[in-house]
Chain A
Amino acid sequence: MEQPNDPPAGAPPTDAAVHGGSFFGIPYGWPLGLAIVGLILFMWMARHPVRQVLWQVFFITGRVFGRWGLWLGEHGRNARIMTSEKIASHRADELQEKLVVLEDRLGRRAEKLPKETGPIIARLDTSTHELATAAHSLADINLEDAAERAFRAALPSMESGRGLNKLEKNIAQNTARAMNERLMPVRPALTALKTEGPRIRDLSEKLNKTCGEFNQGVDQVNKAFSEFEMIMHSEDRIKIASRASIVIPWLIALLITGIALSGVFLNFFLIERPMSEIVGEGSKIGGVGLPAFAALIVIFLEFVAGVVLMDALGFTKLIPAFNSMSDGGRRILLIGALIFLIAFSFLEAFLAIVREQIIEQNAEVSRIAVASMGQNGLDAAAQNALQSSVKPAVVLGLQLPTLAQIILAVVIPWLLATAALPLETIVRNSVFMISIASSYAMMTLAFICKTISVLLKNAGLFILSVYDLVIFFPLWIEKRAKGQGGGGSRRRKEKGEASDDDDLMALDEPANQKPNQPPRRERDKRERELQRA
């Protein structure tokens, strides 16, 4: 659709046509042009302070971020190396303990080995001797000679007898007799061959099995020792650390602890109410009811007793004092922990009975109150209940739910004690994982800081470029004028004295940096390599 560009002839002049428009109050035309020229001249004159401000804002801030990035990166790497070293040393400790255990087991096995293999070897010796004797006997036999002799023995009868049948019969009988006589001494050897063969096979299988078991133990020791050697001598600690599994044992330990914690909750709900019979109700400590607080304390005490028990038994190493403790002291603590756990089991069993009594009493009170609503005054049931209420509550027999509660109450303290087993893994591996995560977080922060640094520097460069683009004409004139003026600045440059402009124009280089010196990071790296060498 075409629209007329010019107003039609004879139309009245518009307001814009009269005034010509304006830009921020400056009319279009020569006033605006003059203002732009003035602004450019002003910007040219203010270039030094503006550049200094931009330098301060972008480059100094960027450098600060860069320094932070370097610092964080270095510390992150150090933390990673330290954590790897800790993991490797922990793995070495584990292997050392494993080696000690395997060595002990292997030693005991080696001690038992002569007792196990002695009879087998003796029997093998006997069987071999018998086989040799049998083989000797068999080697001595000459069946052809026996047959020939039998035939010759039968010849006289052939002369006397005429019948062919009799002759055959005679030969056969003589042969059989001769063979039998000949084989008679060999029969025990054949029997020995028959019996000793399978026996030797069995004995060799047993020997093979014993040898295999022994070799298996030796292989385990060798494998553990090889890994131990590799951990001790390998330079790549991160690789060694990455070979040690941290997360899976941690997850398994967490799962077991979670299950144990569910037992804690169960235990808590079982003993909370009857604890009010011991500590009373009506108070709160930090927002938690007094019976609940007391129940929690009992659970914590059970857990502590469990930790002491497991440490005293040598299953865990959570308490450092146990490492330097004598066997006698450890035994005393073991017995103490056992006594405490047994006492807690009894306490919880009694609390289970008390809990049932409290529930019954409360139910009875409610029943009386509800029953009294039935008629005018207390009805017969309520009266009976009232009469019985004067007597103290008597447990005539343990009901099934009470028995179930008692069993739970007795078992749970011991289950809580076993929860101390995975606790060590959880604590240790959590520390490892937090350390690794912290090192990676530091390195990530280092990367972010460095990126911000680069962004700031480049943004500063870009803004300065735009600034220079706006004032390029005065700059060009200035450069021409200075060039005609004898090239003083060029001479100063040759002497290594940069002018103010040149100094500020070197945006991506620090003003005081030496030209031939490598960056600090490179220097640090070289220093580290030298130290390592």
Chain B
Amino acid sequence: MIGRLWPKVGQTAAGLFFALALSCCGLVTSTNRSVFVVFDVSGTYVKAVPDATKYANLMISQLQPGDWLGVSQIAACSFSEKEIVLQRELPETPSLASAAKRELFAQLAAYAGQVKSAKYTDIRGALAQAAFELKQRPEADRYIVLFSDMIEDHGKTCDTAKTTLDLKGIHVIAANVIKSNPADPDKYFAMLKKWEQTVTDAGGTWNLVASPDQLPKLVASN
């Protein structure tokens, strides 16, 4: 009985396996993400950079093996490779990824220890640079994490205020946005609103993170 059934079961299993193999060929997808962290080193925020690196550490600890991380800073003219601090893809195996994360902690700690202040704050240029770098990456999930007070200040030689941003498919997360003028909350909220509008108009999604533990959840949740 079973002997007679077995060829049919075998044929069915072979068919299923073949279908599975075919579907696998078309359905192999990547779950990795690329994250670009941008630190504001302007005069109003440079003191908060060490704290911001700690927040970034928390986020990095939750990244998965195979994820990519880039770090740059917002300076007077941010749309430049010179402002990129580091770029690294985590190894695909968990043990090597853990070792790489520890190295990243050390690099960020070193960066926070020797960071220098910039005269102007070219946030738009930094966003354009981060978006440009992320577009080169094959990962489907792309994040820009901004550690800044979000107050833009362009110099005469590098005015990117009218630069067109393309943030399609990029999640922009503003973290640790300090309040530079506690006496004027309306201005603070209006500024955040303006940036949200800018990002969404450019095709991206906007998130504001208030507490440090929210950032890893937001990045690692997808």
A511 at the interface (CB under 8 A from B): no
Interface size for A (C-beta < 8 A) is 44
Interface string of A275-308 (1 = CB under 8 A from B): 0110011111111010000000000000000000
Q: Which of B23, B24, B61, B113 contacts A368 (CB 8 A)?
A: B61
Q: Closest CB of chain A to B37's CB: distance in Å?
A: 14
B106: chain A residues within 8 A (beta carbon): 386
- Once the chains bind, are B6 and A320 in contact (CB under 8 Å)? yes
- Once the chains bind, are B31 and A289 in contact (CB under 8 Å)? yes
Interface string of B77-107 (1 = CB under 8 A from A): 0000000000000001111001101100110
- Once the chains bind, are B57 and A372 in contact (CB under 8 Å)? yes
- Docked Cα-Cα span, A86 to B205, in Å, equals 65
The residue in chain A whose Cβ has the minimal distance to the Cβ of B27 is A286
- Once the chains bind, are A427 and B20 in contact (CB under 8 Å)? no
- Once the chains bind, are A376 and B50 in contact (CB under 8 Å)? yes
- Once the chains bind, are A389 and B99 in contact (CB under 8 Å)? yes
- Once the chains bind, are B64 and A282 in contact (CB under 8 Å)? yes
Q: Closest CB of chain A to B140's CB: distance in Å?
A: 11
A286: chain B residues within 8 A (beta carbon): 20, 23-24, 27
- Once the chains bind, are A318 and B50 in contact (CB under 8 Å)? no
Q: Secondary structure at chain B's binding surface: helix, strand, loop or mixed? A: helix
| Contact (A283, B50) CB under 8 Å given A318-B2, A323-B3, A389-B102 | no
- Once the chains bind, are A377 and B50 in contact (CB under 8 Å)? yes
The residue in chain B whose Cβ has the minimal distance to the Cβ of A362 is B98
A245 at the interface (CB under 8 A from B): no
A366 at the interface (CB under 8 A from B): yes
Number of A-B residue pairs at CB separation under 8 A: 118
- Once the chains bind, are A283 and B95 in contact (CB under 8 Å)? no
B204 at the interface (CB under 8 A from A): no
- Once the chains bind, are A365 and B28 in contact (CB under 8 Å)? no
B70 at the interface (CB under 8 A from A): no
B101: chain A residues within 8 A (beta carbon): 365
B32: chain A residues within 8 A (beta carbon): 282
The residue in chain A whose Cβ has the minimal distance to the Cβ of B57 is A369
Interface string of A370-393 (1 = CB under 8 A from B): 101100111000100010011001
A320: chain B residues within 8 A (beta carbon): 2-3, 6-7
| Contact (A284, B28) CB under 8 Å given A276-B65, A361-B98, A372-B105 | yes
B61: chain A residues within 8 A (beta carbon): 365-366, 368-369
B175: chain A residues within 8 A (beta carbon): none
Residues of A252-294 contacting chain B, CB below 8 A? 273, 276-277, 280-287, 289
| Contact (A431, B105) CB under 8 Å given A364-B98, A369-B60 | no
- Once the chains bind, are B30 and A373 in contact (CB under 8 Å)? no
The residue in chain A whose Cβ has the minimal distance to the Cβ of B212 is A373
Q: Closest CB of chain A to B59's CB: distance in Å?
A: 8
Interface string of A399-430 (1 = CB under 8 A from B): 00000000000000000000000001001100
- Once the chains bind, are A365 and B58 in contact (CB under 8 Å)? no
* B contact residues vs A (CB 8 Å cutoff): 1-3, 5-7, 9, 20, 23-24, 27-32, 50, 54, 57-58, 60-62, 64-67, 92-95, 98-99, 101-102, 105-106, 109, 112-113, 212
Name 26 interchain pairs, CB-CB below 8 A, sorted by A. Answer: A90-B1, A277-B94, A280-B65, A280-B66, A280-B92, A280-B93, A281-B65, A282-B92, A284-B29, A284-B30, A286-B24, A318-B2, A320-B7, A323-B3, A357-B95, A361-B95, A364-B98, A365-B98, A365-B102, A366-B62, A373-B212, A382-B105, A386-B106, A389-B99, A428-B2, A428-B5
